[in-house]
Amino acid sequence: MTVEILDRAFDPWHYLAEYRIKGTQQAGQFGATAVFVGTLRDFNQDESVQSMSLEHYPGMTETYLEKISREAVRRWGLTDSLIVHRVGELLPGEPIVLVAVWSAHRQAAFEASRYLMEELKSKAPFWKKEQLEKGKRWVEHNTPG
């Protein structure tokens, strides 16, 4: 079970490959891997987004993400879970979040990854501030899942 907050750009596929090499999950122990990657769009609410600043509450963010990871591992009997989330300045096209889970069967993997993303989006203390052509604005609502 791993949670990491990054203040620099990252490649989720490279990150996953490195993570697999570390071998937190035992080969043969899992039959399903579900991966979700969220990426910054260049549009939101009909406006062109030039960049975004992502603020968080250091300490509470990690504590919260670890709490939902433990809950997902317990509820779906996961072999392992991984959450990586960006903070700081982001450009359109850059990955914001990587969620990956490993389990014996596919249903647990699909459900647990969905659970982690929805909990993360609704309660983890992150706030987005968009840079538009006409100035900056705080994002006040999440897009529906």
Partner 1 sequence: MRIQVRFFAALRERVGISERVISVPENTTVAQVWSLVVEDKFLPDNVLAARNMEYVDVATPVAEGDEIAFFPPVTGGGL
* Binding site residues, partner 1, CB under 8 A: 36-41, 54-57, 59-60, 63-64, 85, 95-97, 117, 120-129, 138-143
Q: Which residue number, 28 or 145, has a Cβ lying nearer to partner 1? A: 145
* Minimum separation from the CB atom of position 29 to partner 1 (A): 28
Both tokens assigned to 74: 């317990």
Q: Which residue number, 79 or 86, has a Cβ lying nearer to partner 1? A: 86
* Minimum separation from the CB atom of position 142 to partner 1 (A): 6
* Minimum separation from the CB atom of position 131 to partner 1 (A): 15
* Minimum separation from the CB atom of position 11 to partner 1 (A): 15
Q: Which residue number, 29 or 63, has a Cβ lying nearer to partner 1? A: 63
